[in-house]
């Protein structure tokens, strides 16, 4: 999760952040270093106490205030229309109910707000899809709930997001079964 290729992509995704920001699946706080200086406050959601403990070192070294919440992406306690930007990097594969998480992201975004994402998921390649479907039960068990075969585009379209930018590609040096990427911006209609 801390590879040079992924960090380059994190930097690219996070360069688009504006306004009040929520990051779902904050984990170890690896994204913290890639937020632009204009982000002075960041609200985070992650249910894992072990990850929160690991993130503390990064939070303490950061110049910005980080408001951490130990909650799932599926049950965000924030009011409707709170954030200008919601960020998710390598998170939606492992939430237990991806549709509920996307509904919550949509709900907490202000009208016109943007969802910035970098996720891996379902490949369009028939042979890779077959392997993703075959290996997902194993990946869920060994990879902290990771689904190799989630179709990120379909998840966003089901919630009526307008996808304004989407890049799909395979990461270099990662097996195709786990390296098909969805990088983009989805906007909540005004």
Q: What is the CATH number of the domain that holds 69?
A: 3.40.50.150
DSSP secondary structure letters along 68-110: EE---GGG--SPTT-EEEEEEES-TTTSS-HHHHHHHHHHHEE
pLDDT digits 0-9 by tens, 68-102:
999 999 999 999 999 999 999 999 999 999 999 99
Predicted local confidence at residue 2, as pLDDT: 62
pLDDT digits 0-9 by tens, 21-69:
999 999 999 999 999 998 989 999 999 888 888 899 999 999 899 999 9
CA 67 to centroid of chain Cα atoms: 17
Domain count, the chain: 1
The enclosing H or E element of 183 equals strand 180-187
1, pLDDT greater than 80:
no
- How far apart, in whole angstroms, are the C-alpha atoms of residue 116 and residue 185? 5
pTM over the 0.85 mark = yes
User: Residue 156: which domain range?
Assistant: 4-187
């Amino acid at each position: 999760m801390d590879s040079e290729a992924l960090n380059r992509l994190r930097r690219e995704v996070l360069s688009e952040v504006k306004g009040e920001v929520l990051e779902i699946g904050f984990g170890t706080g690896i994204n913290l270093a890639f937020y632009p200086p204009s982000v002075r406050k960041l609200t985070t959601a992650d249910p894992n106490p072990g990850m929160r403990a690991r993130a503390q070192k990064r939070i303490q070294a950061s110049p910005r205030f980080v408001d951490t919440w130990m909650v799932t992406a599926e049950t965000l306690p924030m009011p409707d229309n709170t954030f200008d930007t919601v960020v998710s990097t390598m998170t939606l594969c492992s939430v237990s109910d991806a549709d509920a998480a996307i509904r919550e992201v949509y709900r907490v975004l202000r009208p016109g707000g943007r969802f910035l994402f970098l996720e891996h998921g379902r490949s369009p390649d028939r042979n890779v899809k077959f392997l993703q479907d075959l290996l997902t039960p194993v990946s869920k068990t060994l990879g902290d709930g990771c689904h190799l075969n989630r179709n990120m585009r379909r998840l966003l379209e089901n919630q009526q997001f307008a996808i304004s930018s989407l890049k799909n590609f395979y990461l270099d040096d990662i097996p195709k079964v786990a390296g098909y990427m969805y990088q983009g911006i989805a906007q909540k209609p005004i």
